[in-house]
Structure 1
Amino acid sequence: MNTVYTILVFIHIFSAILGMGPGFVLSFIPKSAKTMTELRHAYKIKHHLHILVMIGGTLLLITGLLMGMMHPYLFQMGWYIVSLILFFIALAMGPFVLKPFAIPVKEIVNQHQGEEIPKEYFRLSKKLNRYENFENLLFLIIIALMIVKPF
């Protein structure tokens, strides 16, 4: 059983690196775009990286819960419970917070004619970036809790 747990820890850490790592740069990718062509390309890259983030995030949740089931005392540890709560908040932010802001941004990216990036895009993407940065902060707190295990 200890070997299975060690494998889960390995998958968990590996998933955090491969899944969460790209998540921290997603909001930076479109910022360097100077034209609509570059912006569209940036969003294609962002979409592909987001797939890695979703796979990594799913593996993180599954392995974290499996480790908790193997060692139920984890569900009594404050850092573990707070990490799970923050993870579920971050997970819920996708459809309930980020998506409503992302839809109009993506509409501009997909439908705008010409090479000049419209001012409306910058206004909308600024709001979206605020929430993406907040979600990244949640993930940083989760990572810190997993490393330090303060309570």
Structure 2
Amino acid sequence: MTFYNFLLLIHVFSAILGMGPGFVMIYIVTKAKTMAELKHAYLIRNRLHHFVMVGGTLLLLSGVTMGAIRPYLFQMGWYVTSLVLFIIALTFGPVILSPRSKPVKALLKNSSDDKIPDAYYVLAGKLFFYERIENMIFLMIIVLMVLKPF
């Protein structure tokens, strides 16, 4: 196995580790019926986020390293488009998702009732809208990586 093939293997495992949990993070919290369930669901979601962060970092590092080993990749439209989309998706975290998740976290922390307040659904709806957009970006990246259309 060449170093490039090893990086490719790391890249594929990183995609599974980093992107896989990201696709279920919304689903986990949408099934909660009480505030206790919701808080527990967000705890699970937070733990899954660690996998997303590690996998995403390895994904970027392995992908760029493969490009450095084979510079012609930077001339391939699917590679450059995937890289640009990945960077856009990465900026979603601090720029779009974090500001929308802070009020949700505050609501969870400050709630003493077991009933999920209506305000949560409004806040979560806004957060999940952008998370779904990010998931669509990741799906486009996967399609580009597999099909290499241009």
TM-score normalised by the shorter chain: which range applies?
Answer: over 0.9
Task: Determine the C-alpha separation between the residues in 2 that align with 1:114 and 1:38.
Answer: 12
TM-score, normalised to structure 2, is 0.99
Matched with 1:125 is 124
Matched with 2:22 is 23
Gaps of 5+ in 1: none
Q: 5 Å matches for 1:98-137?
A: 98-137=97-136
Matched with 2:12 is 13
Matched with 2:80 is 81
What SS does the aligned partner of 1:34 have?
coil
Task: Determine the C-alpha separation between the residues in 2 that align with 1:111 and 1:13.
Answer: 40
**1:33 lines up with 2:36 in the alignment:** no
Matched with 1:66 is 65
Matched with 1:146 is 145
Q: What stretches of structure 1 move > 4 A for 4+ residues in a row?
A: none
Task: Determine the C-alpha separation between the residues in 2 that align with 1:48 and 1:6.
Answer: 30
Matched with 2:56 is 57
Matched with 2:44 is 45
Shift in Å, 1:63: 0.1
Deviation per residue, 1:111-144 (Å, 9 max, x gap): 1111000000000100100000000000000000
TM-score, normalised to structure 1, is 0.98
Shift in Å, 1:100: 0.7
What SS does the aligned partner of 1:29 have?
helix
Percentage of pairs with the same residue: 55
Gaps of 5+ in 2: none
Deviation per residue, 1:21-46 (Å, 9 max, x gap): 00100111110111110000000000
Root-mean-square deviation over aligned CA pairs: 0.7
Shift in Å, 1:52: 0.1
